[in-house]
Amino acid sequence: MARLVTSSSDAPSNAALAPGLYIVATPIGNLNDITLRAVDVLSRCDGVACEDTRVTGKLMKHLGLSKPLWRYNDHAEERDRARLVDSMATRAVALVSDAGTPLISDPGYRLVNAARDAGVEVQTIPGPCAAIAAITLAGLPSDRFLFAGFLPVKEKARADMLAEFAMVDATLVFYESGPRLTKTLGAIEDRLPGRRVAVAREITKLHEECRLGSAVELIAHYEAKPPKGEIVLLVEPPQETDASAEDVDALLRDALKTEKPSQAAAKVARATGADRKALYARALELRE
């Protein structure tokens, strides 16, 4: 018979919280999406390290809690981080981001690393995460996925990163902002043509939306209705190709009329799902 495994953090709510660092996931939209354990830790900690004291202040007010709020992000000076870590020897410090799970494209990595180096006890209090929530909404393969955070802002760097992921056999997950969405969808269509894309936005909020379609269809929709709010982009894995060797050669010859072998190989790889290195070698043979 299975038995519930408990930890030291299951102590009575009126007991003192042990000194250390507590990584606390907070709601990504609906303020009711917070775990009982997260509320317990926030109610018993000595203070909260947060990205924006105004945002976290609203959450604490919603929960009926009042604690010291210390502004912290990954751009904090080393001495400020060291001072915060030193305080964890005698105080329980909760780390939160503005929304969701800290460290997931949010501040916290350097603080957790410094705390571990200092021998500070670190505990995680799991909860909401926009990337995971979007995967459950999208209807794309969820058995394997790659979370890559935010794509680069510059066009070439963004295109290069997408090309790097072209042959990854997993659903790709990115964070994006409304103003950049259509440009990013255009880059996806260019580098990962023909794949289904999901746009999940305003997750858990009043106007939650998850729209699935081709990048071209989504561009048309969001050009007509510019999106607001925070966005998660998901791209389906590459599909197995039925292209024959003759078909591949024909595509390569056509691409080589205007492009270098490396560019032709990349283009045909995106179109067929074939291995780009093998295509490059074949492109060199065809050119000669």
Give the pLDDT band of residue 249 (cuts 50, 70, 90): confident
What whole-number percentage of the chain has pLDDT above 70? 93
CATH number of 131-235: 1.10.10.10, 3.30.950.10, 3.40.50.2300, 3.30.1490.20? Answer: 3.30.950.10
Q: How far apart are the first and last CA of the chain?
A: 69
Overall average pLDDT of the 216-232 stretch = 94
The closest alpha carbon to 205, from 57, 24, 51, 33, belongs to: 33
Q: What is the pLDDT of residue 21?
A: 98
Q: Does the fold of domain 131-235 match that of domain 17-128? A: no
| Domain 17-128, CATH homologous superfamily name and number | Tetrapyrrole methylase, N-terminal domain (3.40.1010.10)
List pLDDT tens digits, range 60-106.
999 999 999 999 987 888 899 999 999 999 999 999 999 999 999 98
Give the pLDDT band of residue 28 (cuts 50, 70, 90): very high
Overall average pLDDT of the 214-232 stretch = 94
Q: What is the pLDDT of residue 91?
A: 97
Q: What is the pLDDT of residue 6?
A: 43
Contact assessment for residue 44 and residue 53, using Cβ atoms and an 8 Å cutoff:
no
Q: Which two tokens stand for residue 96?
A: 């939160």
Specify the higher pLDDT residue, 248 or 61.
Answer: 61
The closest alpha carbon to 237, from 170, 156, 140, belongs to: 170
How is the chain split into domains, by residue range?
A: 17-128, 131-235, 245-287
Q: Which two tokens stand for residue 36?
A: 């009982």
Q: What is the pLDDT of residue 265?
A: 85
**Average per-residue pLDDT in the chain?**
90
Using a cut of 0.85, tell me whether the model's pTM lies above it: no
Q: How far apart are CA 284 and CA 262, in angstroms?
A: 9
